[in-house]
């Protein structure tokens, strides 16, 4: 007797649609999930009896899964940079319906100051700024600043500051994609005031200073500070743009070498650029803070409309800047002793691994290479994948044939969740 082909038992589409009718999903999504599951059964990857369960699983999957960041890297680009504070999360949900983003409720008319709350919060936090503008991200802010302040002109930049910001995106190429010409000066390791002086001509629109946020040149180096660039810019009546990237509002003693927005404005920048989701600890955004006249020129440029932020970003940014300590700040300022105790408690709760010294990192766009003293639980490397693909997702750091679980970026309230996830793998 010939065995029956199991594929004959694969449930039909209409039967499956009826079987999963209790799930709230768009028709096209249901059909796509059914078709995927049926194909898997035809390829004998699952049995016909598993098809309905697989459809349910596919419809339940969201492509953006929450991740417990046990890498010790605070601003980790691959997992969405800064986690939002609870205050920012609440503000975001609050603004997700209709919200008065461009409405003056008092007078019942359109308000011209979109995002006024976020701007006010930024200006309160950074008194050295006369005005501010928020756009989609740091790259958009840089594009807008160079285009609005030096359109059809040249922007002078030191060779040591021509950086790639990740995944092949280079700042020089971004700037030149607009109608701005870059004039590179100096050598990779050294640039002097005279290099700027020599380069400035009647076609110069701005001097751009970029903070090398993701690498560090050491040894025989020199660069020209913002104060000196201010003098040069004044002598020749050109704008001075400072791209900081990282977004510290004020100096922070735990990151002694990281420049802040306040300092750069006080030193004389016309406009300082930073990302919202790096050290500021907020949503993806590009912040432009500076002189009133400069910000007015940026707002007026047609590009400003193309790089505008949405109301969700504005709400989350305002709550981040005006709100309590952000998760990024907490992770940066964590007491190593507390981290050690939590790590030892985790080791005791799971009963495996070894508590080892482990430096955390600031990560994406801030304090390159600067170590944050701390501890981690060292486990077998083979644990990495089950933890990464489990529920909840726990992402550790694979290092020297081991898996390091660093609790720096994990809220203490989640330590037990991590312990449970580890026990599951054990
Ligand atoms: C990160 C960074 C950028 C890009 O900012 P995004 O918000 O990622 O677009 C630009 N300049 C510097 C110096 C940076 O560090």
The tokens for 357 are 């010294």
Task: Please tell me the distance between residue 165's alpha carbon and the centre of ligand 1 in angstroms.
Answer: 6
Pocket of ligand 1 contains residue 137 by CB under 6 Å: yes
- Mean pLDDT confidence for 11-16: 96
pLDDT of residue 213 exceeding 70: no
CA atoms within 13 A on the CB side of 376: 26
Closest atom, ligand 1, to C-alpha of 285: 7
Residues 343/377, Cβ–Cβ less than 8 Å: yes
Q: Cα separation of 153 and 180, whole Å? A: 6
Q: Which of 138, 269, 307 to mutate to test the pocket of ligand 1 (most atoms within 8 A of CB)?
A: 138
Pocket of ligand 1 contains residue 172 by CB under 6 Å: no
Note the pLDDT of residue 217: 63
Q: Where are the alpha helices (DSSP H) in 163-260?
A: 171-176, 193-199, 226-236
Spatial CA neighbour of 320 closest among 377, 278, 282: 282
Residues 345-355: pLDDT tens digits? 999 999 999 99
Mark residue 360 as left, alpha or beta (left: phi above 0; alpha: psi -120 to 50; beta: remaining).
Answer: beta
User: What does the longest C-alpha to C-alpha distance in the chain come to?
Assistant: 96
**3-state class of 156 per DSSP?**
strand
Spatial CA neighbour of 360 closest among 400, 321, 410: 410
- For ligand 1, atom 1, name the residue with the nearest CA: 245
Pocket of ligand 1 contains residue 243 by CB under 6 Å: yes
The tokens for 121 are 């919060």
Q: Cα separation of 195 and 277, whole Å? A: 34
pTM greater than 0.75 (yes/no): yes
pLDDT band at 368 (very low <50, low <70, confident <90, very high): low
Residues 116/253, Cβ–Cβ less than 8 Å: no
Cβ neighbours of residue 188 under 8 Å, at least 6 residues apart?
159, 160, 217
């Amino acid at each position: 007797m010939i065995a029956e082909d199991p594929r004959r038992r694969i449930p039909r589409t209409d039967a499956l649609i009826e079987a999963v009718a209790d799930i709230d999903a768009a028709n096209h999504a249901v059909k796509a999930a059914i078709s995927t599951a049926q194909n898997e059964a035809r390829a004998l990857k699952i049995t016909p009896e598993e098809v309905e369960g697989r459809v349910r699983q596919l419809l339940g999957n969201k492509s953006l899964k929450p991740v417990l960041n046990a890498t010790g890297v605070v601003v980790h680009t691959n997992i969405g940079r800064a986690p939002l504070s609870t205050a920012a999360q609440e503000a975001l949900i609050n603004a997700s319906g209709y919200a008065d983003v461009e409405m003056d409720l008092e007078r019942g008319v359109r308000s011209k100051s979109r995002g006024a709350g976020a701007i006010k919060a930024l200006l309160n936090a950074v008194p050295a700024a006369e005005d501010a503008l928020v756009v989609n991200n740091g790259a958009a802010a840089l594009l807008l600043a160079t285009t609005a302040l030096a359109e059809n002109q040249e922007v002078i930049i030191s060779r040591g500051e021509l950086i790639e910001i990740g995944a092949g995106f280079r700042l020089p190429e971004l700037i030149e994609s607009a109608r701005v010409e870059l004039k590179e000066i100096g050598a990779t390791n050294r640039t002097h005031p005279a290099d700027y002086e020599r380069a400035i001509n009647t076609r110069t629109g701005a001097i751009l200073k970029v903070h090398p946020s993701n690498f560090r040149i050491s040894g025989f180096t020199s660069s020209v500070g913002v104060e000196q660039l201010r003098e040069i810019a004044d002598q020749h009546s050109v704008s001075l743009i400072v791209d900081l990237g990282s977004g510290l509002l004020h100096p922070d003693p735990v990151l002694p070498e990281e420049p802040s927005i306040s300092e750069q404005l006080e030193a004389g920048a016309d406009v300082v650029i930073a990302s919202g989701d790096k050290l500021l600890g907020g949503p993806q955004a590009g912040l432009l803070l500076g002189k009133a006249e400069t910000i007015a020129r940026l707002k007026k440029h047609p590009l400003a409309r193309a790089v505008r932020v949405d109301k969700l970003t504005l709400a989350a940014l305002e709550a981040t800047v005006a709100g309590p300590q952000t998760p990024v700040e907490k992770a940066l300022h964590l007491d190593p002793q507390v981290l050690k105790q939590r790590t030892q408690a985790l080791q005791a709760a799971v009963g495996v691994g070894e508590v080892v010294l482990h430096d955390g990192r600031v990560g994406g766009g801030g304090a390159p290479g600067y170590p944050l003293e701390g501890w981690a639980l060292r486990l077998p490397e083979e644990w990495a994948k089950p933890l990464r693909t489990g529920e909840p997702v726990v992402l550790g750091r694979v290092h020297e044939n081991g898996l390091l679980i660093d609790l720096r970026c994990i809220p203490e309230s989640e330590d037990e969740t991590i312990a449970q996830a580890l026990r599951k793998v054990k």
